[in-house]
Amino acid sequence: MTMKLLQTTALLGLSGLLALPVNAAFLEDSQTRLELRNFYFNRDFRQSGAAQSKADEWAQGIRLDWQSGYTPGRFGVGLDAIGLLGIKLDSSPDRTGTGLLKADRSEGRAMDEYAQLGLTAKLRLDEHVLRLGTLLPQLPLAMHNDSRLLPQTFRGGWLQAKGSDALSFDLGRFDAINLRDSSDHQRMRPVQGGARNVSVRGKPDSNAFDFAGASYRFNPDTRASYHYGELDGIYRQHYLTLNHSRTLGTGRLSADLRYADASNAGRSNIDNRMTSLALAWQTGMQRFGASYQQMNGRTGFAYLNGTDPFLVHLVQINDFANRDERSWQLRHDYSFANLGLPGLSLMNRYTHGDNIKLASGRGSEWERNTDLAYTVQNGPLKNLSVRWRNATYRSSFASDLDENRLIVGYTFAW
């Protein structure tokens, strides 16, 4: 039975259920959340002779999430729904390409609006839950992207099972992807281009990404996970993580160790090993971080196009995941709560990468980020947030960029 047939069968079953008198738990345990996101994006291309001087757009996003409860009993049935709407406020054909708005390919301009409705059937047995339909995973092998106006989504099936309070499992398949600036489902393909050296022979995409994984919590301070994924006929990947934290003196030290191994599964040249270690020290209202990330193999890091790679050096513009790249980062976070300004935070970081394998030799790149955010804590405007994100990116082989993002958000929940 195909994934699409399974989804259709589950949703038809739910339709029949909802046609009957709905039990109290199904509705009384439901949750609704409305998120408004006003987004201004400006990217300035700094190199001489750039094909486009800047990407500059302004848009309004609306996201409505509804999650039902479950029917009573050991076996429960539920339904989730997500509605997405993007509205153009300002754009022009010479300023498109921000990722905020869906483009009209025939006219080369952003569409006035675009929308998507996603439904997810939920089947629960004890503490195990199977979801079929629209999915927003946060897995090391498939992290949905939510860095623009509307989130990117998957279509498929995802089983989350529990072996014990400390042990959990993931198993599933995705058969299509919906990009952050699209309202249509598409086949999946790996990220290519730049200095990654990734190529795919013949058919460039696939409609099957299978995954499985397990996470184990040894104690409240230590957790490990292993995940395996395969984009059918293109690449397969193993991903290991280990997280540990402990109190030292007046602060808390945390460590994040990651290792990934990706290889060809038929039609690609993918061959990559990624290793990274991040350390962070939290004391009072300040957090200091340092990290190192290294790529080995004939290609850069492998991940699905349109998603976020699970990398410690995924920053505002870049991910520092090119072929042979070695990168390091220094970061500082500060909360102004002790100064009488709860809800106000500031982040600064600098990431530098080098040893990048190019056809002409070795390349380097760096990125500096500043993130200033404020969320209203109480009163009639509680949960109103304002965020300014600034980035400078410089490279010896790619486009130099200066970027600013201004995001105003407001969330209602009931």
Cβ count within 10 A of residue 2: 9
Tokens of 319: 């991910």
Q: Which long-range contacts (CB under 8 A, 24 or more apart) does 181-185 make?
A: 181/86, 181/99, 181/100, 181/101, 181/102, 181/103, 181/114, 181/148, 181/149, 181/150, 182/102, 182/114, 183/102, 183/114, 183/115, 183/116, 185/155
Question: What is the spatial distance between Cα 411 and Cα 408, in angstroms, rounded to a whole number?
Answer: 10
Closest CA to 77 of 120, 32, 134: 120
How distant, in Å, are the alpha carbons of 103, 207, 267 from that of 191? 20, 15, 14
Q: What is the pTM of this model?
A: 0.92
Tokens of 394: 């410089």
Strand partners, 117: 83
Contact 270, 190 (CB under 8 A): yes
Query: pLDDT tens digits, the chain, 414 residues: what are they?
Result: 455 555 555 555 555 555 445 566 778 889 999 999 999 999 999 877 777 889 999 999 999 999 999 999 899 999 999 999 999 999 999 999 999 999 887 777 999 999 999 999 999 999 999 999 999 999 999 999 999 999 999 999 999 999 999 999 999 999 999 999 999 999 999 999 889 999 999 999 999 999 999 999 999 999 999 999 999 999 999 999 999 999 988 999 999 999 999 999 999 999 999 999 999 999 999 999 999 999 999 999 999 999 999 999 999 999 999 999 999 999 999 999 999 999 999 999 999 999 999 998 999 999 999 999 999 999 999 999 999 999 999 999 999 999 999 999 999 998
Closest CA to 285 of 335, 332, 249: 335
Cβ neighbors of 248 (< 8 A, separation 6 or more) are: none
Give the pLDDT score at 1. 45
The CATH code of domain 120-413 reads 2.40.160.10
Exposure string over 200-225, b if 16+ CB within 10 A, otherwise e: beeeebbbbbbbbbbbebeeeeebeb
Question: What is the spatial distance between Cα 259 and Cα 281, in angstroms, rounded to a whole number?
Answer: 22
